[in-house]
Chains A and B, each alone.
Chain A
């Protein structure tokens, strides 16, 4: 059954849910249950898209397109392609995960938390669905505000300071981004993504290369901060370590990387190729730099933050090598990162709920007390370090093998990151779970792994495995979404022949 206006419905169900949250009484766990219900409904709605997606059909599907403001011409234009479809499903999935992960971690001011949490879901789904750049920008900004507020209120001790940092990092480039959008509008007379793309391809002669270069750069910087790309990652460590788990799960990665693909590669393909050497270098530096710092962290969440920096830099590398399999791999990898990174943050959160510290040095020998948690932790780490048959391997392999033909040296350097990833993850596992029991672990009685935790994590573990084994199920849609962004095969061969 095809539902009309399904995208609008999916975007605004969480908003409606948020309004109800504001009206609910602060009693018991009503707010939690309600938010969980809304998240499940949203997730179920997102599953509508893969079920009804027409594979093999290019262009956008589930399109809704009507005028919003006549002048300036802003349209309410929504649509999905293979690139954005799974990202919306992922967002829906992570909203359920987020509620379950926050269930007992957020005990005070739950109404505020879940209100902004649901608003954030609307914003993120909107970002992936919007095909009008102004509309997109509205969702983009909307996603930043609840995030900053949630970090400020619910973050660990340094919450407000971290929120300010996050705010500075993301708002200043957003302002430049807005200027670039307005400039483009002035030049092309449209905010509509599809129209603008056609216009830019058809009339590239109208622009001086310099002008497009600066516009593309403004886009790129705004997105690169959000990914983050080295050296714009200054906010990441603090944000991941201080933000509530549900926010840390979604703060990095998919939004920025999706936007780079959609706008930088979609609207400014020539400029993207101009930036490519720089971006590839920054990506490889980011992979190694993140991994090396993760190696010497003692704080679990900071280690995860730098691991995320390293892992997402793989995606950046795959994107800016412009090979089809590299792009497929990059998209697949940031979906993987969404799942496995979220699982790892949830696990870290569960440890924190039990022991109130993220300091690894105080842990030790926990595997004997929490065997299930240890097992899931190891599975998640194996997925993140790209063990074959787990999701991470498929993405990593596609990125690296796809990029190798044109960039031998960089890819070999990036592959060193695979070794380092094993090193920092196994060090973390060992410090927390293996070795003799630490004083803290030995003294404190510990809550067993609860049913909620089982329900949250086992499906994620199964998903990691399923995505590692049945990758064509996801990739055939992604392939179609990114096909137009890649260099043609002949292009790749000419790279090879140049060498």
Chain B
């Protein structure tokens, strides 16, 4: 590939869209705003698709150097882009799913006051996300890394006149910053050790030193993991993601499910050369992953807000991807990333369609019976539910199964991790079918309560007026539950198909497939990562996980379809467990009591009141009083007595003379 691929266009076109809508959007008609935003996403998507057909077989990565960003002494970091199979997969997901969600948003946000602002932010997000994916060095990746955080902050806080939305945005940004702290320290370590932040530069040096095992590489890897747990919402920094559901639903689909939150997984896969040298770091990743997967799934069981169920399920699924990376099976992690992007985006968009139809209602307890009223939403959502639950032949089955299989085989994985993964699969299937039954089956429990009381959102308009409206604004006849417009259904249909067939790119050999995606990624990860067991074992494990998924479905069927009185009975019998789960293990409260409150109390009373106002200011005024005392003495000198003035004058002159003589001239060489 000699000619330039013009990779720089991929992130910069969405940026141009951001500038156009951000600066002028307020005055533009909605049609033009959406045209700008859609074109700014469609062009990169087309370009990526073109790259896919022309580049997918290239053996070596392609680099593009756009200029120097920071240079001092021997250190240099540039705007350098890289295209290899790994970034190509990510690019396809980001631009493809991103484009679909842009289309969906045109319908979903049609009645919003801040329409232009929404699309400007969305394009800004695309810019940063694509920068993150294309970056050839840690520093440029960090641009995207923090940048998507900014876009996320702005979009979560889109309804900024609502305190909860503003709080959620702030929380997301600050918690992510804790992760970014880890990323920064990892970069400092890299600069100190390697003198460069370029991926190829660092990895080449590591490759030259096979004797480096663990040690400082573990330190770098662990700080990177801290970064990844922030962005990918893993223990201990997952707490921002459920709150992030305050953002408009398309945002939850794009940023908080399909793309941004997978950045941590992508980063670990990208830096696998470092992780491969550190068994400790890998084990940490695996344990964080599987623990988060299971932990979040248990919370997901009792959530009643449809978006929150999906949020916890996202955290849980990201845990699977971490598990895959932790057992050094990066290809299966990326595989699950891809299928998850399809079915989780679909789940959110379909949930958005339900919320849209119900005039802003998000509580599953008052839904029900929507199967007939929202047929397209129902059928597409069904595909997604089957996919995430891991039922063959839907997408999630193949990717999740591959992760569990690799975990089972991996030297640092083994049966314990596999069993926890399996339990998670059961829980996942259970809570997803719970959502499915509660939303679409049974009697309709929707009463169309008066809107300002429930599910209402105060929207900020751009023109200094305050509009009280539902999110999203209901149509004039909102009591008539009806299907969403075609512009929202079209992305649902595409994603529905992908949720069905998306997993076929990774059918394992045991099931007669070729595991295309793992092969495709071989040039990046090397073929060593994918472990091969016997076909017999693979089939057994696949059968077990299918049975587990079916068991989850069955239990949900029993609880939420066959015997609807059962859940209440069970929860009252297991009151302790239920309380624990409903309160999400009180993790937010614990963090508040251990970190936030002490920090604020110490700052307010010890640092501000005691030290700053007391000690430091006190010392100032103390010296001021002292100065006044001196002044009083000096005042006495100023007595008006000519003779004493003359005396002082003489003393002064003498001092000056002595000083001049000894000081100025004696050493005047």
Contacts and interface: CB of A to CB of B under 8 A. Distances in A.
Given A231-B616, A472-B68, A475-B70, A496 B150 contact: no
B512 interface: no
A418 B73 contact: no
A231 B157 CA distance: 38
B460 A368 contact: yes
A296 B167 contact: no
Nearest to A164: B624
Nearest to B145: A388
A426 B604 contact: no
A382 B624 contact: no
Contact of A187 (B146, B466, B623, B667): B667
B188 A400 contact: yes
Interface in A284-334: 289, 292-293, 295-297, 324-325, 328-329
B616 A233 contact: yes
Contacts, number: 170
B170 A437 contact: no
A325 B73 CA distance: 7
B462 interface: yes
A182 B663 contact: yes
A416 B147 contact: no
Interface string A465-491: 000010110011001000000000100
Interface string B140-168: 00110011001001000100111101110
A165 B75 CA distance: 44
Interface stretch (A92-100, A108-116, A247-255, A401-409): A401-409
Contact of B664 (A164, A186, A324, A422): A186
A489 B74 contact: yes
A452 B189 CA distance: 46
B464 A369 contact: yes
Interface stretch (B52-60, B175-183, B249-257, B283-291): B175-183
Interface stretch (A75-83, A348-356, A428-436): A428-436
B147 A400 contact: no
A189 B668 contact: yes
B557 to A, nearest CB: 44
A59 B660 CA distance: 33
Contacts of B668: 189
B161 A435 contact: yes
B221 to A, nearest CB: 16
A434 B166 contact: yes
B466 A368 contact: yes
Interface string A165-203: 100110000000000001101111100000000000000
A426 B173 contact: yes
Interface in B401-437: none
Contact of A189 (B72, B623, B667): B667
Contacts of A324: 72-73
B72 A475 contact: yes
A417 to B, nearest CB: 10
Contact of A168 (B185, B607, B616, B620): B620
A316 to B, nearest CB: 17
A434 B157 contact: yes
B494 interface: no
A387 B178 contact: no
A249 B181 CA distance: 29
A18 interface: no
A405 B192 contact: yes
Interface in B619-669: 619-620, 623-624, 627, 662-664, 666-669
Nearest to B142: A388
A487 to B, nearest CB: 11
A295 B603 contact: yes
Interface in A358-377: 365, 367-369, 371
Given A165-B620, A234-B617, A328-B72, A388 B146 contact: yes
Contact of A289 (B177, B460, B607): B607
B616 A416 contact: no
B163 A435 contact: yes
Contacts of B208: none
Nearest to B461: A368
Contacts of B619: 234
A388 B147 contact: yes
B187 interface: yes
Contacts of B464: 368-369, 371
Contact of A368 (B161, B180, B617): B161
Contacts of A427: 170
B608 A422 contact: no
Looking at chain A's contact residues, the main secondary structure is helix
The winner among B74, B150, B607 for most chain A CB atoms within 10 A is B607
A184 to B, nearest CB: 10
Nearest to A324: B73
B138 to A, nearest CB: 11
Interface string B64-79: 0000111111110000
A182 B71 CA distance: 40
Nearest to B467: A368
B657 to A, nearest CB: 14
Nearest to A496: B192
Contacts of A401: 75, 187-188, 191-192
Interface in A441-499: 469, 471-472, 475-476, 479, 489, 496
A389 interface: yes
B187 A168 contact: no
Nearest to A403: B188
Contacts of B623: 168
Contacts of B602: 292
A163 interface: no
B177 A325 contact: no
Nearest to A404: B188
A128 interface: no
A434 B188 CA distance: 35
A44 interface: no
Nearest to A495: B192
B170 A430 contact: yes
Nearest to B154: A378
Contacts of A382: 150
Nearest to B170: A426
A389 B143 contact: yes
Contacts of A433: 160
Contacts of B177: 418-419, 422-423
B147 A293 contact: no
B456 interface: no
A275 interface: no
A436 B459 CA distance: 10
B669 A189 contact: yes
A182 B663 CA distance: 8
Interface in B104-159: 139, 142-143, 146-147, 150, 153, 157
Contacts of B35: none
Given A296-B608, A405-B192, A419 B600 contact: no
A271 interface: no
B184 interface: yes
Nearest to B77: A397
Given A296-B604, A387-B150, A434-B166, A418 B181 contact: yes
A367 B603 contact: no
Contact of A387 (B146, B181, B599, B667): B146
Interface of A: 72, 164-165, 168-169, 182-183, 185-189, 231, 233-235, 237, 289, 292-293, 295-297, 324-325, 328-329, 365, 367-369, 371, 382, 387-389, 394, 397-398, 400-402, 404-405, 411-412, 415-416, 418-419, 422-423, 426-427, 430, 433-437, 469, 471-472, 475-476, 479, 489, 496
6 contacts: A234-B620, A296-B604, A371-B462, A472-B71, A475-B71, A489-B73
Given A382-B150, A422-B173, A435-B161, 17 more contacts: A72-B664, A165-B620, A185-B664, A189-B667, A293-B608, A296-B603, A325-B72, A329-B72, A367-B160, A368-B461, A371-B462, A397-B184, A398-B70, A405-B191, A427-B170, A437-B161, A471-B70
The 3 A-B pairs of least Cβ separation, nearest first, read A434-B166, A404-B188, A292-B603
